[in-house]
Amino acid sequence: MTNGLDPRYGNLIFDNIPCGIFTVDENGIITAFNLAAEEMTGWRRLEVIGRPCSQVFQNARCHESCFLQHSIEQAETHTDEEVSIQRRDGRQLLVAISTAALKDEDGHIVGGVEMFRDRTMVAHLRRQLKASWTLADIVTKSESMQGVRELLPLVARSYSTVLVEGEPGTGKELIARTIHNLGPRAARPFVAVNCGALPDNLVESELFGYKKGAFTDAIQDKPGRFALAEGGSLFLDEVGELSPAMQVKLLRVLQDREYVPLGGVRACKADVRILAATNRDLTLEVRNRRFRQDLYFRLNVVRICLPPLRVRGGDVPLLVDHFILKFNALQGRRIRGISEEAMARLLDYEFPGNVRELENVIEHAFVVCGGSIIRLEDLPPHIRGEQLEMHEAPAWGPAARNRSLRQAEAEAVRLALDRHQGSRTLAAQDLGISRSTLWRKMKRNGIA
C-alpha cells in the first residue's frame, strides 16, 4: 500500500462532506458535483456536469466579478463570501461561498473549486432577532398570496391605515411588519399590542399611557404604546376585541391624530401609522352593532385579506421546506426532507391553525424524528388521524404521560376495534385512517 489516502475513498469523502462542493475546468464547465450540492440546489449531478456553472446557478455575479473565475485567473482564494444563488425550483438560496484554484502536479491551474454553505435560515433568524421582515419571508406560490405580496410595496410607501383580516395563524403580524419595514418609517419603532389580551381597565393606560397620580399605583409617568411608536407604526392586533368605550377613544385618535394620557390634561400629538388586524368579520360585527361603523371605515382604508392555508395547498411543501431549514438551524439538526407518505397526509389535512399550526407540526416532528427524513409516524397523532375519545380512553393524564407513543397507538387501535366488534373497516373509519394503515398498526403492535 502506498502512503497517503486510498483513492477509492476519494468519492466517498467528497459525497459525505456536509458542504456543497463543485469543481469546474478553466472555462467554467462543471466537472464534479457532490451530494450536499444536490440537496441544497435541487440539481442532480448528471444534469449539471458538462454545463457552465453560470447556467445552473444564475447568480448576479456570474458575469461580473465572479469569485470562482477570479480564483482561476488570479490563483487567489475567497472565503465566506455571501451571495444569493438560484435553486432549480427558482427559489433564491443565500449561501456563503469559498473558492480556490485547482492545480495539476506541475502547478498549472486547470480549473477551480467552490464550496458553499446554506445561510438562508441564518439570515432569516438574523432578521427575526431584528424583527426586520421583508417580502422574502412570505413563502408562497399561490395566486391569492402572490396578489398580497404585489400589493405590499404599494401599501408600504403610503401613510394610510391598513386593516389585515385573516384566520388565526395566517401571518397577520408578518404582513404588518413587512409593510412597516418596506415603508418610509422603517427606521422608526414598530410597536405591537394584542387588544384581546388586555383587560378593559388596562387597555386605555396601555395605549395612551398615564400621568403620575392618575390612580393609586401611578407613582410616575408612564408612556403608552402610541408614545413608544412615535414616528413609526403601531400594530393593533385583534382590534375587533376592543370594548365599545375603547372603540370611541381610538376613533378620536384616528380623527384628530392626538390623545390624552390617563390623568393628563394636555393632548399629545400622535405621529403614528396604524396597522390593525382581526380574525373577525368586521362587516358582520358592524351589522350586529358590536363594532362601530365609523371606526371600521377609519381602519378600513386599505384592506388586506389573508387566505387560510387550506386554500393554499401548493404552499404546504414550500412551507415545510422553509420550516425544516429553520429548525435545522435552530436545533443543529440535518433533517433532509419529508417522506411522500407524510407529505401526502399534510396535503390532506385542513390546518385549522393555518401556517402557525404547520410550523408546530414540523417542530413536533423534529422532536421525535430519529433519522434524516420526517416520516408519517413522526407527525402528531391528530395529523395521522389517530384519535382517542376522551370518555373511553384514559386521557393524557399523569399516568398516560409516561407511556410511549407506540403504547398509546396500540390502545387507540384496540379501543376502535372493540367499539366495532372487530370490524377493521369501521375501526379504520373511526380512527380516520385507511384499512391498510390500520392493518400495519395492528401488525406492528401484535393485535390479532
Which DSSP string corresponds to 75-86?
---EEEEEEEEE
Q: Share the mean pLDDT of the chain.
A: 83
Domains of the chain: 7-118 (3.30.450.20), 127-305 (3.40.50.300), 309-383 (1.10.8.60), 385-448 (1.10.10)
pLDDT at 393 (0 to 100): 40
361, containing H or E segment? helix 354-368
Residue type at position 20? G
pLDDT greater at residue 134 or residue 37: 37
What pTM was estimated for this model as a whole?
A: 0.63
**Beta bridge pairs of residue 374:** 338
Which residue has cell 384496540? 414
Residue 392 has pLDDT above 60, yes or no: no
CA-CA distance, 376 to 341, in Å (whole number)? 6
**Mean pLDDT to the nearest integer, 135-141:** 76
Helix/strand/coil for 442 = helix
Give DSSP secondary structure letters for 91-160: -EEEEEEEEEEEE-TTS-EEEEEEEEEE-HHHHHHHHHHHT---GGG-----HHHHHHHHHHHHHHTS--
Q: Are 85 and 62 in contact (CB under 8 A)?
A: no
Q: Could you count the other beta carbons within 10 Å of the beta carbon of residue 291?
A: 23
The proportion of the chain whose per-residue pLDDT surpasses 90, expressed as a percent, equals 41
Rounded distance between C-alpha atoms, residue 250 and residue 225, angstroms: 12
Measured distance CA(359)–CA(136) in Å, rounded: 17
Residue 154 has pLDDT above 70, yes or no: yes
pLDDT in tens, 257-292: 999 888 887 889 999 999 999 999 999 999 999 999
Rounded Cα–Cα distance for residues 81 and 8 (Å): 32
**Which one, of 134, 172, 177, 153, lies nearest residue 308 by Cα?**
172
Indicate whether 4 pLDDT > 70. no
Please report the pLDDT score of residue 397 as a whole number: 39
Residue recorded with cell 441544497: 40
- Number of H helices and E strands in the chain, helices first, is 21, 14
Q: Are strands 258-259 and 268-269 parallel, antiparallel or unpaired?
A: antiparallel
pLDDT band, very low/low/confident/very high, at 168 (cuts 50, 70, 90)? very high
How large is the average pLDDT for residues 56-66?
Answer: 73
pLDDT the model gives residue 395: 40
Asked if residue 253 lies in contact with residue 246, where contact means CB atoms within 8 angstroms, the answer is no
pLDDT tens digit sequence for 345-387: 999 898 999 999 999 999 999 988 888 899 999 999 989 876 5
Q: Using DSSP, state whether 303 is helix, strand or coil.
A: strand
pLDDT tens-digit profile of 221-233?
Answer: 888 899 999 999 9
Mean per-residue pLDDT, 49-59: 85
pLDDT score at 135: 66
pLDDT in tens, 289-327: 999 999 999 999 999 999 999 888 789 998 998 899 888
Asked which of 49-58, 89-98, 166-175, 229-238 is least confident by mean pLDDT, the reply is 89-98
pLDDT mean over 194-207: 85
- The closest of 284, 322, 5, 271 to 140, measured between CA atoms, is 322
The stretch 420-439 carries a mean pLDDT of: 75
Q: For residues 75 and 109, is the Cβ–Cβ distance under 8 A?
A: yes
Q: Residue 402 has what pLDDT? A: 36
326: phi > 0 → left, psi -120 to 50 → alpha, else beta; which? Answer: alpha
The DSSP result for 304-320, as a single string, is EEPPPGGG-TTHHHHHH
* For range 59-74, the mean pLDDT: 79
pLDDT band at 439 (very low <50, low <70, confident <90, very high): confident
- Rounded to 5°, the CA angle 228-233-239 comes to 95
| pLDDT recorded at residue 333 | 80
Average pLDDT over residues 88-117: 87
Mean pLDDT, range 32-53, rounded to an integer: 90
Q: Which of 62-76, 343-357, 408-422 has the lowest mean pLDDT?
A: 408-422
Q: What percentage of residues in the chain have a pLDDT greater than 70?
A: 85
Q: What are phi and psi of 390, to 5 degrees?
A: -60, -30
What CA–CA distance (Å, rounded) separates 50 from 204? 67
What pLDDT does 247 receive? Answer: 94
Q: What is the band of 1 on the pLDDT scale with cuts at 50, 70, 90?
A: very low
pLDDT tens string 325-342: 888 877 778 788 999 999
The model's confidence at residue 169, banded by pLDDT at 50, 70 and 90, is very high
